């Protein structure tokens, strides 16, 4: 993956930059020893690594502002980092950048149950936001599968989703306000505990902007009362296309499941071998979960099963207890780990119109044969957010490149059928150079014009999201 050549002048000024950062931060908050900066050399896209010039770990909005002022004056690029769980390389450093990690900022600042929100520092992990409010019967809805580790900062940067967003929406639908620090070090409050902005929807713009418009240090998040209960049904099908048609019929029927998860044969078998969840031997498996009181769950599941029966399932297993629910989810929840045991894999994230599922799955399996690389499909079927896992061997020369070429073809296919490159992981560096498949030059130019407003010097995470060639003139002009 091509990255801009590090600025030699900045590398030469390392000592001065570190000294100035140390002036504005407490002891222990500036990391510059090459042995220690290596901890920040990559995120969860581990194929690409580069230690930063330095890393800083501020503890407050004021300290973040001070860091950004220093870097702005010094002309040093800044790469914001939450927990470093990005699958897209969103937090990948360049050698001339300062990593700004928010991990030390993990406090709950305010909980308000009558008005149903919580205000946190953004270094707090996703799951611990729910942890802070669950004693009162509330939860924070977006649930990316990395939720144990990932930070709210990264969730906001990538507009993260999760398995339950079919019903509850993604981060942007659950974010009420942010404290944003601009590259110049100005602290700006956007939104708050009220709904809807007065003027432009800057909150909607910032969510998903991949740390390129500002550093979000605090966030007001919508919390929801927990449902009375939830239970899944598992269905097996002999044919992938039939499973796809079943998904579409469930959605049309007016039942709003909280999740519809899909797995294909390779994933079913791999998960079964790994987790012994008792999955049936079939081509496609759906897990559909609904919420409500016991009677409401029974009613919704019976409607869903009625629909499924029209599609001649080879297996139908309705959960009647917490243990049975856990067994149904066990395999799905271990899917990524199980696939990881089989080999190295690249996880794609393209989203397609649900109606195109059968066609896209067929094309992916054809491409899999052409490329000679196996693919497992496990994804959120209700919203068309696919996660093909392409297996490769990182130790085999050329295999990563082959895998990336295959991945690029799959993503092009997603765009071709009316979908997009990424549904919840973000563009980062991974899909940066494919942006021109989805967007025309003027579309990208309009987006880059937004960055010009927030970060005229193009110092914040500058080598991400936009194809390097498209952003070159802006990055150069700003230098």
State which of positions 203-242 bind other proteins (CB under 8 A). Answer: 203-205, 207-209, 225-228
Give the count of residues interacting with other proteins (CB under 8 A).
93
Contact between 424 and other proteins (CB under 8 A)? yes
Contact between 3 and other proteins (CB under 8 A)? no
- State the nearest-atom distance from the C-beta of 393 to other proteins, in Å: 29
The window from 1-9, 22-30, 96-104, 383-391 that contacts other proteins (CB under 8 A) reads: 383-391
Q: Which of 81, 124, 380, 475 binds other proteins (CB under 8 A)?
A: 380
Binding characters for other proteins, 250-279, by CB under 8 A (x = yes) = -xxxx-x-----------------------
Contact between 189 and other proteins (CB under 8 A)? yes
DSSP helix, strand, coil percent of the chain (3-state; round to 5)? 40, 20, 40
| Closer CB to other proteins, 332 or 432, in the complex | 432
- State the nearest-atom distance from the C-beta of 211 to other proteins, in Å: 12
Contact between 292 and other proteins (CB under 8 A)? yes
Contact between 465 and other proteins (CB under 8 A)? yes
Burial environment of residue 359 by CB neighbours within 10 A (0 to 12, 13 to 18, 19 or more): middle
Contact between residue 170 and residue 161 where contact means Cβ atoms under 8 Å apart: yes
Contact between 409 and other proteins (CB under 8 A)? no
| Closer CB to other proteins, 199 or 397, in the complex | 199
Contact between residue 287 and residue 234 where contact means Cβ atoms under 8 Å apart: yes
Q: Is 349 helix (H, G, I), strand (E, B) or coil?
A: coil
DSSP 310-348: TT--SEEEE--SHHHHHHHHHHHHTHHHHHHHH-EEEE-
Contact between 135 and other proteins (CB under 8 A)? no
The H helix count followed by the E strand count for the chain is 18, 18
Q: Which of 2, 366, 452, 479 binds other proteins (CB under 8 A)?
A: 452
Contact between 438 and other proteins (CB under 8 A)? yes
The window from 195-203, 340-348, 399-407, 470-478 that contacts other proteins (CB under 8 A) reads: 195-203
- State the nearest-atom distance from the C-beta of 181 to other proteins, in Å: 10
Structure tokens at 426: 């973000």
The number of residues making up the chain comes to 479
Q: Which of 163, 260, 339, 427 binds other proteins (CB under 8 A)?
A: 427
The window from 189-197, 304-312, 326-334, 358-366 that contacts other proteins (CB under 8 A) reads: 189-197
Contact between 302 and other proteins (CB under 8 A)? no
- State the nearest-atom distance from the C-beta of 345 to other proteins, in Å: 21
Contact between 433 and other proteins (CB under 8 A)? no
Sort strands 215-222 and 175-181 into parallel, antiparallel or unpaired.
antiparallel
The C-alpha atoms of residue 339 and residue 332 are separated, in whole angstroms, by 11
Contact between 289 and other proteins (CB under 8 A)? no
Binding characters for other proteins, 113-132, by CB under 8 A (x = yes) = xxxx----------------
CA distances (Å), origin 214, targets 104, 416, 457 = 18, 32, 12
CA distances (Å), origin 149, targets 80, 129, 161, 289 = 16, 12, 15, 24
- State the nearest-atom distance from the C-beta of 151 to other proteins, in Å: 16
The C-alpha atoms of residue 181 and residue 176 are separated, in whole angstroms, by 17
The C-alpha atoms of residue 411 and residue 422 are separated, in whole angstroms, by 8
Contact between residue 353 and residue 417 where contact means Cβ atoms under 8 Å apart: yes
Contact between 173 and other proteins (CB under 8 A)? yes
- State the nearest-atom distance from the C-beta of 230 to other proteins, in Å: 11
Contact between 140 and other proteins (CB under 8 A)? no
CA distances (Å), origin 441, targets 324, 436, 437, 454 = 51, 7, 10, 20
With residue 268 as reference, give the H or E element that holds it: helix 265-275
Restricting to residues 314-353, which ones interact with other proteins according to CB under 8 A?
Answer: 351-353
Restricting to residues 70-109, which ones interact with other proteins according to CB under 8 A?
Answer: none
Contact between residue 277 and residue 324 where contact means Cβ atoms under 8 Å apart: no
Contact between 412 and other proteins (CB under 8 A)? no
Degrees to nearest 5, angle at CA 209 with 204 and 213 = 100
């Amino acid at each position: 993956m091509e990255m801009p050549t590090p600025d030699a002048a900045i590398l030469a000024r390392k000592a001065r930059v570190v000294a100035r950062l140390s002036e504005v931060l407490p002891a222990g908050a500036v990391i510059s020893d090459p042995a220690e900066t290596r901890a920040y050399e990559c995120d969860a896209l581990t194929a690409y690594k580069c230690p930063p010039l330095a890393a800083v770990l501020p503890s407050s909005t004021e300290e973040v502002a001070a860091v950004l002022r220093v870097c702005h004056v010094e002309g040093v690029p800044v790469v914001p980092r939450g927990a470093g769980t990005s699958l897209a390389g969103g937090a990948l450093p360049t050698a001339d950048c300062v990593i700004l990690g928010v991990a030390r900022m993990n406090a709950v600042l305010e909980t308000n149950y009558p008005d149903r929100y919580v205000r946190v520092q953004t270094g707090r992990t996703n799951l611990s936001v729910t942890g802070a409010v669950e004693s009162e019967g509330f939860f924070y809805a977006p649930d990316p599968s990395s939720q144990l580790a990932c930070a709210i900062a990264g969730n906001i940067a990538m507009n993260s989703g999760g398995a339950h967003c079919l019903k509850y929406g993604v981060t942007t639908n659950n974010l009420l306000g942010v404290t944003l620090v601009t590259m110049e070090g100005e602290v700006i409050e956007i939104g708050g505990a009220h709904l809807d902005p007065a003027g432009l929807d800057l909150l909607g713009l910032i969510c998903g902007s991949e740390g390129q418009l500002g550093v979000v240090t605090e966030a007001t998040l919508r919390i929801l009362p927990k449902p009375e209960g939830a239970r899944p049904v598992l269905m097996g099908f002999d044919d992938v296309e039939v499973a796809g048609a079943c998904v579409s019929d469930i959605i049309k029927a007016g039942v709003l499941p909280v999740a519809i998860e899909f797995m294909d044969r390779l994933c079913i078998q791999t998960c079964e071998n790994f987790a012994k969840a008792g999955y049936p031997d079939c081509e496609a498996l759906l897990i559909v979960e609904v919420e409500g009181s016991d009677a409401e769950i029974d009613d919704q599941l019976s409607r869903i099963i009625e629909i499924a029966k029209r599609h001649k399932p080879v297996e139908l297993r309705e959960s009647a207890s917490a243990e049975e629910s856990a067994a149904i989810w066990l395999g799905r929840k271990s899917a990524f780990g199980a696939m990881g045991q089989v080999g190295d894999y690249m996880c794609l994230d393209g989203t397609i119109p649900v109606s195109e599922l059968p066609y896209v799955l067929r094309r992916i399996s054809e491409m899999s044969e052409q490329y000679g690389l196996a693919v497992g499909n496990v994804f959120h079927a209700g919203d068309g957010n696919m996660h093909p896992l392409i297996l490769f061997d990182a130790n085999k020369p050329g295999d990563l490149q082959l895998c990336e070429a295959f991945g690029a073809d799959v993503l092009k296919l997603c765009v071709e059928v009316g979908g997009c490159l990424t549904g919840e992981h973000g563009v980062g560096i991974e899909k940066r150079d494919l942006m021109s498949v989805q967007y025309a030059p003027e579309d990208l130019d309009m987006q880059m014009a937004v960055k010009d407003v927030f970060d005229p010097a193009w110092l914040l995470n500058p080598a991400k999201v936009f194809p390097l060639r498209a952003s070159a003139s802006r990055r150069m002009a700003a230098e």
